[in-house]
Amino acid sequence: MSRKPLYEQVVYGIKQDILLGIIEADEKLPSVRELASQLLINPNTISKAYKQLEAEGVIMTIRGKGTFVARQETAQRDERKVESIKAKMKEVVIEAIYQNVEETELISWIKDIVSENGGMRNEG
Is 57 part of a structural domain of the chain?
Answer: yes
* Same-domain check for residues 24 and 49: yes
Q: What gap in Å lies between CA 67 and CA 10, rounded to an integer?
A: 15
Q: Average the pLDDT over 7-31 and give the result.
A: 93
Q: Average the pLDDT over 29-44 and give the result.
A: 96
For residue range 89-123, list pLDDT tens digits in order. 999 999 999 999 999 999 999 999 888 877 776 54
- Total domains in the fold of the chain: 2
* Same-domain check for residues 62 and 83: no
Is 66 part of a structural domain of the chain?
Answer: yes
Q: State which residues form the domain around 53.
A: 6-74
> By mean pLDDT, which of 9-23, 52-66, 77-91, 99-113 is the weakest?
77-91
Q: What gap in Å lies between CA 116 and CA 5, rounded to an integer?
A: 24
| Mean pLDDT score across all residues of the chain | 89
